[in-house]
Homo-oligomer: A and B are copies of this chain.
Amino acid sequence: MIDYIYELKMKVRDYECDLQGIVNNANYQHYTEHCRHEFLLEHGVSFADLHQEGIDAVVARINIEFKVPLRSRDEFICRLRLEKQGIKYVFFQDIYRLPDEKLVVRCQVDTVCTLNGTLMRTCPQLDETFAAYLNKTN
């Protein structure tokens, strides 16, 4: 059983579906990004504010497995788990369809932080905020 630390419920919007009648693949990246940012916000970290301070959390790698497509009207839940691996903050993010809890997308997002464009070995703001989660997994 995966030990998620955050979840966000969402609903498909029709404009996210493409001519195959299913959610266009790129939108799952949008969903997972929104879920990460909401998770950060819930812990007092704003992606937009960090950017104003010169700190950008940037995605270095993303791997998405597409299992079952979402369709018009589907509700779904994005769940998230966080690990620190070296300089990377690795988000494991899975999307489940509601109400049947079918796995829609399994996703791993490797992020790093940059300060004025230069790679940071570690981001104090994130380390402090997520100490509880990061200790648990390292």
- The answer to the question of A122 belonging to the interface, with a C-beta cut-off of 8 Å to chain B, is no
On chain B, the residues within 8 Å of A24 by CB distance are 15, 33
- The answer to the question of A127 belonging to the interface, with a C-beta cut-off of 8 Å to chain B, is no
| Chain A window 8-31, contacts with chain B (Cβ cutoff 8 Å), 1 for yes, 0 for no | 000001110111110011110110
Given known A15-B26, A48-B73, contact A64–B66 (CB-CB < 8 A): no
| Chain A window 72-88, contacts with chain B (Cβ cutoff 8 Å), 1 for yes, 0 for no | 11000000000000000
Distance, CA A64 to CA B71, complexed state (A): 24
Interface residues in chain A, defined as those with a beta carbon under 8 Å from any beta carbon in chain B: 13-15, 17-21, 24-27, 29-30, 33-34, 37, 41, 46-48, 51, 56, 58-66, 69, 71-73
On chain B, the residues within 8 Å of A65 by CB distance are 60-61
Identical subunits present:
4
Contact check, A25 vs B18: say whether CB atoms are below 8 A apart: no
- Interface residues of A: mostly helix, strand, loop or mixed? mixed
Distance, CA A51 to CA B26, complexed state (A): 19
Shortest CB distance A98–B (Å): 15
Contact check, B56 vs A60: say whether CB atoms are below 8 A apart: no
Contact check, B19 vs A25: say whether CB atoms are below 8 A apart: no
**5 intermolecular pairs with C-beta atoms under 8 Å apart:** A14-B33, A19-B19, A20-B51, A60-B65, A61-B63
